[in-house]
Amino acid sequence: MLRRTFLHTLFGSLGIGLSGRINANTQLLEPKRRVLLQESPLAGYQYHRAQGIWQFLQIGETLKLRRESANRYDRNAIAVWFKNEHLGYVPRSENRTLAQMMDRGELLEGRIVRLLEDDNPWRRIRFSVFLST
């Protein structure tokens, strides 16, 4: 049995997730961590695909954040995607620092933290942004 398989089996049986990286010598390196940066409402819900795929969204789902530095309306724009569907954006008032981090190559990801049936599109989806270290 490979050492990597053994460690995954051992830690899994103890109820401990093993999300670290393994190098070519199968030595365990530091585990992947996520640092919470902010929580935001989804901007642009009514203009993108969020309404059309509402029934597929769940709390805890991973969201992809894509930098749109060439966006003609906001040079700090960060699009929020669920799988292959564009849901909206990080609000303009909350995206500057995140855009700078992404421009430096930092890896950011989102997670849905609230789904609310509401007439106000700004209250429908709330998500957290994490820095992966």
Q: What residue numbers bound the domain in which 20 lies?
A: 1-31
The CATH number given to whatever domain includes residue 56 is 3.30.70.2330
Full-model pTM: 0.75
Q: Residue 5: its pLDDT value, please?
A: 54
Same structural domain, 21 and 40: no
* Region of poorest pLDDT, from 6-15, 43-52, 60-69, 97-106: 6-15
Does 96 share its domain with 122? yes
Q: Does residue 100 share a domain with residue 44?
A: yes
**Amino acid (one-letter) located at 51:** Q
Whether residue 23 is found in the same domain as residue 57:
no
pLDDT tens across 35-66, in order? Answer: 999 999 999 998 988 888 999 999 999 999 99
Distances (CA, A) of 38 to 2, 35, 48, 109, 128: 40, 9, 22, 11, 6
Is 26 found in the same domain as 80?
no
- Rounded Cα distance, 66 and 115, in Å: 21
Looking at the structure, do residues 63 and 119 belong to the same domain, yes or no? yes
- Quote the distance between the C-alpha of residue 97 and its chain's center: 16
